[in-house]
Amino acid sequence: MVVVDRKEEIREFLISRRAKVSPEQAGIPSYGELRRVPGLRREEVAQLAGVSTDYYTRLERGSLRGVSDSVLEAVASALQLEEAERAHLMDLARTANTPSRRTPRRPTQQRVRPGVLRLLDGMTGVAAMVQNGRGDVLAANLLGRALYADVFNSAVAFTDVPGRLPNQARYLFLDPRAADFYPDWNAVAAITVAMLRLESGRNPHDRALNELVGELTTGSGLFAALWAGHDVRIHTTGTKRFHHPVAGDLSLQYETLDLPGDEGQTLFTFTAEPGSASENALAFLASWAASPPEPATHTTHTATAGDPAAGSIAAVRSHAQPGRNPGKTEPSHD
């Protein structure tokens, strides 16, 4: 388990953001001088933010306790932080002003409300699921489970805690098949780590999150390198490509919606452009998912209707793992 050091987290985040801003970007003339550090110097950030160098140095050493929002906004502007980075800085300041816990807490099992499950099941032709900030899949409709069948059938995607929730980040970094499933695996990996870093800033005492980060840092060199970059990302909308073992290649538009009545839960939907090959592939996948399952020949981690990761409809078939090309070498992530 990773025990988050708030001061170290703040220090490394501010240093990493300062290194990304060149004097030219900040409007500071360099006069061709040789600079010993990448990006801006501390005194230059202080000048741009309208605070003393000593004061900014104290902030960069991790002391955000009692710092006003106006000062944080000035620092964010000086460092040219994006929306997600500003939110992360505010989260770091908020948690710095909150008494720390001796032992990180394990959150109670999240449950998806029956009304949300009915909403998922009513979304025909749309792959939909509900996730929390750690990337645990809390619920999915039939097409959502068919789209992410590799995740639901992955032995490494599941936690050992009661409820057996499949985790997207665990599948992405610890299951070699993920590199086949996501044609843009490197980009998806970077976004996933950035989202987990943002969640860590919001909930530093989430024991399950800290354990997940520790597990992935140990198990994946790439995760460890990306995590050390301190990048953050807000996931809202975009396009994601899949290489599905049943439906083939799909390019789907995703939208996200935070559920206001259920803190920490986000609804993800995936749709295809009308008239596109992806729309045909998604329709084929929906038909395949709705067909009667063949008798299972082995036990897998597939969610069932009674599991937290299942909606109020029957689960995806347990054999949803078509054979791979036996001559293809599965890639390594590290």
Lowest mean pLDDT among 38-47, 97-106, 140-149: 97-106
Q: Is pLDDT at 33 greater than 80 in this prediction?
A: no
Task: Note the pLDDT of residue 313.
Answer: 36
Q: Is pLDDT at 188 greater than 90 in this prediction?
A: yes
Q: What is the mean pLDDT of residues 82-93?
A: 95
Task: Note the pLDDT of residue 36.
Answer: 77
Asked if 307 contacts 112 with a C-beta cutoff of 8 angstroms, the reply is: no
Tens of pLDDT along 144-178?
999 999 999 998 888 655 556 899 999 999 999 99
Task: Note the pLDDT of residue 37.
Answer: 76
What's the pLDDT band for 101 if we cut at 50, 70, 90?
A: low
Tracing tokens 């990180």 back to the chain, one arrives at 104
Q: What is the mean pLDDT of residues 306-310?
A: 39
What's the pLDDT band for 230 if we cut at 50, 70, 90?
A: very high
pLDDT, mean over the chain: 84
Q: What is the mean pLDDT of residues 324-328?
A: 35
pLDDT more than 70, % of the chain: 80
What's the pLDDT band for 83 if we cut at 50, 70, 90?
A: very high
Q: What stretch of H or E contains 201?
A: helix 185-202
Task: For residue 138, give both structure tokens.
Answer: 């809390």
Tens of pLDDT along 53-79?
999 999 999 999 889 999 999 999 999
Q: What is d(CA 210, CA 203) in angstroms, rounded to the nearest whole number?
A: 10
Task: Note the pLDDT of residue 105.
Answer: 54
Q: What is the mean pLDDT of residues 239-244?
A: 97
Task: Note the pLDDT of residue 119.
Answer: 94
Nearest to 316 by CA among 297, 300, 332, 331: 300
Nearest to 3 by CA among 98, 103, 133: 103
